[in-house]
């Protein structure tokens, strides 16, 4: 069934035209898709090459020399790079061949459609014209027939009346003859025209229109054939299962097959082989018991009133542990046997290996439990033997402990020149504590009513084990509360705490919220950073492992002044309290006046500082926010506290002593730059707009020098100060890194201000801020208009990827718009940095000052 026999009707003709229009639209869609595919394949190839380069970096180390796994991995990374090259080649081929061919096909199809429509209209017009001519000639025939009938009637009438002669009869006869001649002539013309029409209609129906349709069918089928070849070419360039890729995969599989676990460590073992270690002998140092008057013997447990209860408790604990150990060992042994029996039913090689690994792990754990059990059994035998030799329930008396506490201390203090050179106050305290403990070995120590007095000076152990002077004493003022202490930092985030505690023994106290419960934490630097939660007793007192106190402040003072470890396991000792930094303000120092705005985390207020009466702006953080959001809120303060620049909003302080957390900043009177631009749009000159661009460039140049990525640069996040000076604000999304990769999703990202590489790959650098700066300049010169007006975020993103860039706002200097376009270069490496941008804008300001400044 063809066009010529089935598509001659008007409806069929219109359908054929519609089909060709649809095919043209399909071609346009294919061109767009192929363009995007070429781009995505190139981006993917670039990313794959980066991964391969990163994966090959391990090879720089000699520690993996001879490793089969390392060699296999190296081969995999090299083949990954080859894969990237193949994908890039396919993308280039698709662009150079397929895309050009699609453009040509589209052009030819448009031309063919036009020619078909013109030719169809021409022959249809001919047929229509001939049909109209037949109708006209028929009407003319009818008219002359009536005239002929009338002339004949009059002639017959005069002929009957007047006979055979007369002038009137001659006139009537003459008219009759003329009408007759005209009728016969018209008759002949009509007959000939009908003949022509019949033949043309036949040709139109059987030759002309079928021929046109047949030619059109042939042409369209040729197009389809070309189209098919194009699709084959596209599919070929998109085929990741082609022989080239299969060859890469075979190389990877061969490199993996070359791994033999039994040979992996052959070279390593040969290179680093050494003699077996000599056994370590542990012997009792008999010099330790020389002064014990024979009451303590080497390698023998001493059983007396000081130790019998401890030995019995220890024996009970050991027996319990042995029982638990045996139960674990039994369970593991059962599991081991089950894996061994089930291994025979496993067909998959990986499952076999996993099962073998599980069996090996189970065996290792069983062996470890056996070793632990042997140690505990040996200790149990030793204790039982000592208790059995005692033979009675009561322990014998220990050494004479009737030492006078005061005499012990006074005698010690009287040695030397009386200046307590032998025993310091610290030693006297330790002696007092030791004697008290020895006198009452079985009595629970009562809680002290107040902290122990501090020594005159504190000391810190240096790297050699000696102690160095100079730590600040902790205040013992009794009327202070915990929040008044300089070393209490309120809800300061853990990240800041870690930064403040730099030396062993540095400590501070803070608060945190866990599971909706407020807890007080002692943070100490001691071989790392340790954080101890203050425990609360049933009586409402506070403690760590030692005695409890009525207040947390007294507990901390006791730990500091006693010099005892916070916990025996940590061994952490408090040497130096770390006071609050100058930017840590007390919440009570800030008086909130009136609400001036609302942010992502809470309200913004105009406020006053009590001490200086300075009017400031205060951002508050809602108390009900999760801890993670509060950390993000404080991030702006942590970044701003170290910056000082006239075009960066100035941080005054952070209030973390209690809730709500507040960030205190300078109050910038002009408010948001976006609002300012919209309100003053009619009065702002081009010179003032250019100066705003220069201010922003200066601030961003400063941030770039500090490796700070703002990530949210826009007119809404800039403030206008006195003399229209622009200050960059809102650092809630900022990061102090040369490169930042988003790992927590792309939520709340300002799409229309964000660079393509950040949107597509989550990769941020200072050059992403350059893109945003271009948008900001567009906002400034459009006097507060919205970028990509009328477009949704997704539409704007699609247009940008397709190469679209916003036109220049009205009256924008050409040089400034060229700078915007440079900021909007798709590849970040083609954009200028802020040092270059500042130089350009500064030069433009100088050049145009005469004109419009």
Q: At 655, which CATH number? A: 3.30.200.20
Q: At 176, which CATH number? A: 1.20.1270.60
Residue 853 has pLDDT above 70, yes or no: no
Dihedral of the CA atoms 704, 706, 712, 713 (nearest 10)? Answer: -40
- Say whether 644 is catalytic: no
Residue 259: inside a domain: no
Domain count of the fold of the chain: 5
Q: At 838, which CATH number? A: 1.10.510.10
pLDDT band at 399 (very low <50, low <70, confident <90, very high): very low
Residue 825 has pLDDT above 90, yes or no: yes
Question: Tell me, what's the pLDDT at 295?
Answer: 60
Residue 517: inside a domain: yes
CA distance 18 to 12: 10
CA distance 266 to 269: 5
Sign of the four-CA dihedral 128, 131, 135, 140: positive
Residue 129 has pLDDT above 70, yes or no: yes
Question: Tell me, what's the pLDDT at 515?
Answer: 63
- Regarding whether 638 and 729 lie in a shared domain, the answer is no
Is 284 flagged in the annotation as binding? no
Domain of residue 305 covers 301-390
**Would you say 179 and 147 are in contact if contact means Cβ atoms under 8 Å apart?**
yes
Is 598 flagged in the annotation as binding? yes
Is 619 flagged in the annotation as binding? yes
Question: Tell me, what's the pLDDT at 60?
Answer: 57
Question: Tell me, what's the pLDDT at 443?
Answer: 31
- Regarding whether 127 and 95 lie in a shared domain, the answer is yes
Mean pLDDT of the chain: 81
- Regarding whether 103 and 182 lie in a shared domain, the answer is yes
DSSP 3-state of 211: helix
Q: How many C-beta neighbours within 10 Å does residue 570 have?
A: 16
**Would you say 670 and 828 are in contact if contact means Cβ atoms under 8 Å apart?**
no
Residue 705: inside a domain: yes
Question: Tell me, what's the pLDDT at 61?
Answer: 58
Which one of 219, 238, 257 terminates a domain? 238
Sign of the four-CA dihedral 500, 502, 503, 509: positive
Question: Tell me, what's the pLDDT at 700?
Answer: 96
Question: Tell me, what's the pLDDT at 402?
Answer: 32
Q: Per-residue pLDDT averaged across 774-788, rounded?
A: 96
pLDDT above 90 covers a percentage of the chain that reads 37
Q: Model confidence over 18-55: pLDDT tens digits?
A: 888 998 999 999 999 999 999 999 999 999 999 988 88
- Regarding whether 519 and 376 lie in a shared domain, the answer is no
Residue 733: inside a domain: yes
Residue 424: inside a domain: no
Question: Tell me, what's the pLDDT at 417?
Answer: 40
Is 113 flagged in the annotation as binding? no
Q: Model confidence over 171-191: pLDDT tens digits?
A: 888 888 999 999 999 999 989
Question: Tell me, what's the pLDDT at 277?
Answer: 62
Pairing of strands 506-514, 576-577: parallel
- Regarding whether 603 and 551 lie in a shared domain, the answer is no
Residue 406 has pLDDT above 50, yes or no: no
**Would you say 233 and 101 are in contact if contact means Cβ atoms under 8 Å apart?**
yes
Q: At 520, which CATH number? A: 3.30.505.10
pLDDT band at 701 (very low <50, low <70, confident <90, very high): very high
- Regarding whether 204 and 345 lie in a shared domain, the answer is no
- Regarding whether 756 and 728 lie in a shared domain, the answer is yes
Is 507 flagged in the annotation as binding? no
Residue 385 has pLDDT above 80, yes or no: no
- Regarding whether 589 and 562 lie in a shared domain, the answer is no
- Regarding whether 184 and 217 lie in a shared domain, the answer is yes
**Would you say 765 and 739 are in contact if contact means Cβ atoms under 8 Å apart?**
yes
Render the burial of 350-372: b for 16+ CB within 10 Å, e for the rest. Answer: eeeeebeebbeebeeebeebeee
- Regarding whether 696 and 657 lie in a shared domain, the answer is no
pLDDT above 70 covers a percentage of the chain that reads 81
pLDDT band at 76 (very low <50, low <70, confident <90, very high): confident
Q: Model confidence over 356-370: pLDDT tens digits?
A: 556 667 777 888 888
> Which position has the higher pLDDT, 279 or 641?
641
Question: Annotated catalytic residue: which of 41, 506, 695, 712?
Answer: 712
Residue 467 has pLDDT above 70, yes or no: no
Residue 261: inside a domain: no
Residue 413: inside a domain: no
Q: Per-residue pLDDT averaged across 810-818, rounded?
A: 93
Residue 240 has pLDDT above 60, yes or no: yes
Which one of 341, 373, 390 terminates a domain? 390
User: 848: buried, middle or exposed (CB in 10 Å: 19+, 13-18, 0-12)?
Assistant: middle
Is 524 flagged in the annotation as binding? no
- Regarding whether 660 and 698 lie in a shared domain, the answer is no
Is 580 flagged in the annotation as binding? no
Question: Which residues fall within 8 angstroms of residue 520, CB to CB, at 6 or more apart?
Answer: 482, 509, 510, 511, 533, 534, 542, 552
- Regarding whether 605 and 546 lie in a shared domain, the answer is no
Which one of 547, 577, 607 terminates a domain? 577
pLDDT band at 463 (very low <50, low <70, confident <90, very high): very low
Residue 454: inside a domain: no
Question: Tell me, what's the pLDDT at 311?
Answer: 82
């Amino acid at each position: 069934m063809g066009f010529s026999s089935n598509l001659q009707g008007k409806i069929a003709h219109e359908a054929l035209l519609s089909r060709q229009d649809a095919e043209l639209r399909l071609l346009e869609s294919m061109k767009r898709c192929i363009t995007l595919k070429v781009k995505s394949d190139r981006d993917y190839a670039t990313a794959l090459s980066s991964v391969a380069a990163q994966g090959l970096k391990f090879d720089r180390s000699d520690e993996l020399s001879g490793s089969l796994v390392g060699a296999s991995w190296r081969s995999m990374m090299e083949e990954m790079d080859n894969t990237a090259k193949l994908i890039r080649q396919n993308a280039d081929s698709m662009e150079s061949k397929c895309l050009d061919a699609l453009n040509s096909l589209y052009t030819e199809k448009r031309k063919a459609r036009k020619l078909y429509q013109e030719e169809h209209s021409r022959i249809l017009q001919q047929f229509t014209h001939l049909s109209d001519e037949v109708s006209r000639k028929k009407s003319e025939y009818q008219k002359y027939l009536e005239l002929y009938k009338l002339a004949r009637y009059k002639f017959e009438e005069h002929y009957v009346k007047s006979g055979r002669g007369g002038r009137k009869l001659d006139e009537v006869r003459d008219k009759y003859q003329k009408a007759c001649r005209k009728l016969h002539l018209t008759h002949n013309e009509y007959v000939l025209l009908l003949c022509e029409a019949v033949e043309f209609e036949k040709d139109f129906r059987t030759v002309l229109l079928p021929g046109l349709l047949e030619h059109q069918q042939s042409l369209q089928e040729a197009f389809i054939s070309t189209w098919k070849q194009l699709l084959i070419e596209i599919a070929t360039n998109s085929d990741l299962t082609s022989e080239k890729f299969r060859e890469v995969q075979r190389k990877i599989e061969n490199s993996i097959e070359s791994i033999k676990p039994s040979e992996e460590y052959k070279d390593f073992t040969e290179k680093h082989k050494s003699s077996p270690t000599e056994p370590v002998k542990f012997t009792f140092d008999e010099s330790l018991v020389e002064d014990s008057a024979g009451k303590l013997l080497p390698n023998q447990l001493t059983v007396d009133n000081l130790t019998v209860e401890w030995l019995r408790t220890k024996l009970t604990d050991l027996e319990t542990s042995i029982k638990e150990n045996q139960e674990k060992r039994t369970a593991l042994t059962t599991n081991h046997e089950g894996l061994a029996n089930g291994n025979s039913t496993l067909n998959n090689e990986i499952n076999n290996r996993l099962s073998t690994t599980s069996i090996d792990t189970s065996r290792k754990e069983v062996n470890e439990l056996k070793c632990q059990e042997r140690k505990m059994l040996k200790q149990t035998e030793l204790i039982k033997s000592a208790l059995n030799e005692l033979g009675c329930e009561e322990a014998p008396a220990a050494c004479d402990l009737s030492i006078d506490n005061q005499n012990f201390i006074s005698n010690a203090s009287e040695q030397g020149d009386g200046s307590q050179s032998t025993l310091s106050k610290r030693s006297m305290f330790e002696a007092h504590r030791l004697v008290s403990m020895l006198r009452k070995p079985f009595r629970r120590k009562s809680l002290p009513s107040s902290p122990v007095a501090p020594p005159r000076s504190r000391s810190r152990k240096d790297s050699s084990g000696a102690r160095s002077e100079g730590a600040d004493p902790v205040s013992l003022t009794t009327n202070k509360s915990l929040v008044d202490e300089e070393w209490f930092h309120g809800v300061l985030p853990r990240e800041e705490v870690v930064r403040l505690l730099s030396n062993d023994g540095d400590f501070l106290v803070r608060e945190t919220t866990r599971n909706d419960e407020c807890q007080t934490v002692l943070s100490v630097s001691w071989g790392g950073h340790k954080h101890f939660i203050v425990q609360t007793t049933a009586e409402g007192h506070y403690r760590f492992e030692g005695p409890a106190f009525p207040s947390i402040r007294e507990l901390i003072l006791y730990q500091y002044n006693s010099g005892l470890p916070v916990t025996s396991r940590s061994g952490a000792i408090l040497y130096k309290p770390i006071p609050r930094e100058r930017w840590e303000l007390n919440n009570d120092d800030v008086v909130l006046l009136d609400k001036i705005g609302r942010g992502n985390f809470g309200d913004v207020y105009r406020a006053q500082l009590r001490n200086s009466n300075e009017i400031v702006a205060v951002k508050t953080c809602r108390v009900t926010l999760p801890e993670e959001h509060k950390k993000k809120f404080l991030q702006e303060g942590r970044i701003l506290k170290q910056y000082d620049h006239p075009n960066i909003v100035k941080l005054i302080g952070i209030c973390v002593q209690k809730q709500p957390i507040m960030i205190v900043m300078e109050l910038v009177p002009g408010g948001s730059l976006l609002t300012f631009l919209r309100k003053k749009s009619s009065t702002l000159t081009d010179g003032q707009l250019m100066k705003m661009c220069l201010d922003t460039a200066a601030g961003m140049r400063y941030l770039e020098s500090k490796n700070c990525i703002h990530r949210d640069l826009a007119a809404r996040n800039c403030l206008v100060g006195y003399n229209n000076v622009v200050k960059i604000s809102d650092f809630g999304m900022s990061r102090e890194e040369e490169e930042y990769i988003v790992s927590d999703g792309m939520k709340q990202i300002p799409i229309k201000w964000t660079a393509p590489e950040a949107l597509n790959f989550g990769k941020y650098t200072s050059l992403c801020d350059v893109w945003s700066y271009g948008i900001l300049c567009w906002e400034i010169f459009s006097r507060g208009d919205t970028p990509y007006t009328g477009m949704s975020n997704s539409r704007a993103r699609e247009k940008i990827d397709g190469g679209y860039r916003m036109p220049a706002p009205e009256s924008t200097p050409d040089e400034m718009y060229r700078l915007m376009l440079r900021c909007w270069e798709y590849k970040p490496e083609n954009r200028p940095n802020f040092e270059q941008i500042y130089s350009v804008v500064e030069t433009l300001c100088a050049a145009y000052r005469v004109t419009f400044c």
